[in-house]
Chains A and B, each alone.
Chain A
């Protein structure tokens, strides 16, 4: 078992998130996180899906995802070839006496204090999953009242875009859907 990150370009049409969610649910695939939002093209949304499974199962997930008509392109985002980030908002218990300590811990992970009240501070941070995890661990000593995390988002390094590779002007490029390592298009 290993963690895999898929970037999935989908048509920005009603029900597409439900289709993807329904597929994962009925096939018994567990999603670690799912982030979805608009892209540079208003007709296309991008999902970043993090899954924990073995390589063979990943091929199957990708093939099944491609059966959804609204799915346009899929690419696995590797650690070396892509930038991966998560966002975090966390409300930490902070008495006056501990505020400086909280701020110092946050700063260590490029966190920023974005809200304060008598009994709490809210820290915002963005970074690789490991940093976010470490920040949370460090903040635990003060007491965490509430937190919210975005799913992971990922973008490839370099100038090539996922849309470039999955959508061409003359329709669509076709790659071998069997190849586990290739970028997936149909």
Chain B
């Protein structure tokens, strides 16, 4: 597979080259089309899930912000806004918990001599692997028995556990390329371990910590199965509200919410990409 077609390519090679490109183009289209399609549809002036003739004619009358106003409670129903603000409490709290504990543990795990390292890693990554229905059923039983079912604290704990693998993966990945002689140098020059951590180690692994945090954030911000079982009405999150809307009757407000969420994902993805490049540059791994 060559990036450019050499001038001496045969017809067969040319066909193959273009067919391959077209196929990849179609896959990219398949990847991105469903996500982008919700954006124009969310401005539909009517309660349909498809393009109306007015929209196809680009008639301004076919478009409106109706669904966004409904999201904001213009129809007297503030449940979307309430769910959104619940999500904005739960996700950051869970992220904080998983990032602080996860970063410490990742630093511990990347020390040269850790007994049972592989087993510990396997255990810490397992929340990503175990099917959510099993995790949430287990949490439902166990949190019920310790009075955490239906509480805010319970949902935050549960979501923090789900975010741990992402923090561990990203931070250990950053640490694996961390030059250990830097901490020794700092120690040599008389810095105590705490100073060394904050002045030397932290700035270098910060990009990894932040992107792990963003992964943990989006995990909680997206999660619906666990919150359905562990949470109660007081902790109704945005995905929960969307799930109800999808299962019961498809309310077009979902399109507006989906668009908002897509915009948030684009923002998060951009941040992570920038951080990744910055960290690679800092560690001299990539030309940037």
B is bound to A:
no
